[in-house]
Amino acid sequence: MQVAVHVTRTGEQRILVPVSGSTQPRYAASGHLLYVQGSTLMAAPFDARRQVLTGEAVPVVENVQVNSFGAAQYSISTTGSLVYVSGGSQSDKNRLVWVSRDGKEQLLAAPPRAYGRPRISPDGRKVTVEQDGQIWVYELARDTMTRFTFEGSNNFAPVWTPDGSRIAFQSDNDGPPSVFWQKADGSGGMEKLTGSEYTRFPKSWSADGQLLSFGEINPTTGYDIWVLDVKDRKAVPFLRTPFYEVGVFSPDGRWMAYTSNQSGRDEVYVQPYPGPGGKWQISTDGGTDVRWTANGRELTYRNADKMMAADVATQPAFSAGKPRMLFEGPYVLPSQFVSFYDVSGDGQRFLMLKPTEQAQAATQIVVVQNWFEELKQKVPTGKK
């Protein structure tokens, strides 16, 4: 990953920081571009009018917590305060764990690693996970972890086809991160399904395996929901708004459940697919990372460390019950619409990612007030 600037007026894109592994860029009102390299917060003088760096980057904060996807836990205010979570890289600190609906845990034998986005195969025998920019397949009965992808350096977001024959995923193997798929046995190599100048990542399949919902990250409209017909490789937008939305098909393919921040916070909604029709809000106090159970009669989602569920009916018309909490615990939370759990076929167990005790104990929030004064001394911009 590199840091780039997109000029919305002209459509021009330029690389600002070519160093691989540079993530989470933010502009500071002090006249700096901030980003994370490894677990170090870097700062470089930045001319916002010309969108160019005017000097070399300098390390300004060490030991910023960064998860295995490069998401750095820091933020800045317009008045000059800095807040960040200490702890450095969180790689190799997650465990795969089954959690029952009443919160009882069963650890899987897989060793602690930098796992992300677990997905259960349709037959329930295997699990795909991300690890170090590649996708791996874990066989539950044999307790074996086998590497699945070998091309590209950043392969994420695996999604099984309904028949289990293929796995769709995001890869940077051919330009900007796009949607590819490959046979589940690893043969045949990866094949590109859809691409764009913008980042795209798969989310869910329709029951017949003909339609794939995917997200597109657009600098103007944020996260949008698109649908790809894999037969003719034609992709069309389903929901493209100024807000962030990420959606998944219902088991019967007639509905799309999605998370949106249109209200000012993340909430879960449902709309008919392909439409037309209105929308129903499912969550009542915030929600993200939504899933349908296989029978289509329940929606599950995350609300901070709580696992929530709501009964739904799609026939003869759509209706939803009051959300209820199933369990809560210190499991890895969704990050910028990245999901970290899956539901078993019978809807009775949840495959979660649980940080090791060492990772949980390392969490500490640090607040630095009037940080811009220190920043200007370390990295002069020439501005008064």
* CATH assignment at residue 335: 2.120.10.30
219 and 243 both lie in a single domain: yes
Residue 139 lies in a domain: yes
For residue 5, is pLDDT > 80?
no
Residue type, 82: L
144 in a structural domain: yes
Do 43 and 142 belong together in one domain? no
Sheet order of strands, 267-272 included: 245-249, 255-260, 267-272, 280-281
* First-to-last C-alpha distance (Å) of the chain: 33
The pLDDT value recorded for residue 291 is 96
Asked whether residue 31 is assigned to any structural domain, the reply reads yes
Question: Does residue 319 share a domain with residue 368?
Answer: no
Domain containing residue 277: 94-355
Read off the pLDDT of residues 63-95 as tens digits, 9 standing for 90 and up. 888 765 567 889 999 889 999 988 766 555 789
Q: Are residues 84 and 207 in the same domain?
A: no
Domain presence at residue 65: yes
pLDDT greater than 80 at residue 2: no
Stretch 213-234: mean pLDDT, rounded?
93
Same structural domain, 83 and 163 = no
Q: Give 167-234 as a DSSP string.
A: EEEEE-TTSS-EEEEEETTSTT--EEEE--SSEEEEEEE-TTSSEEEEEEEETTTEEEEEEEETTTTE
- Domain presence at residue 321: yes
Q: How many Å apart are CA 206 and CA 26, to the nearest integer?
A: 37
Query: Are residues 304 and 181 part of one domain?
Result: yes
Do 161 and 271 reside in the same domain of the chain? yes
| Strand bridging mode 306-313 / 324-328 | antiparallel
Distance separating alpha carbons of residues 46 and 376, to the nearest angstrom = 12
253 and 289 both lie in a single domain? yes
| 183 shares a domain with 43 | no
Average pLDDT for residues 34-58, to the nearest whole number?
Answer: 89
**What mean pLDDT is predicted for residues 201-207?**
95
- How many structural domains does the chain have? 2
Select the more confidently predicted residue: 337 or 131: 131
**193 and 56 in a common domain:** no
- Residues 166-198 have pLDDT tens digits of 999 999 888 888 999 999 999 988 999 998 888
Question: Do residue 64 and residue 127 come from a single domain?
Answer: no
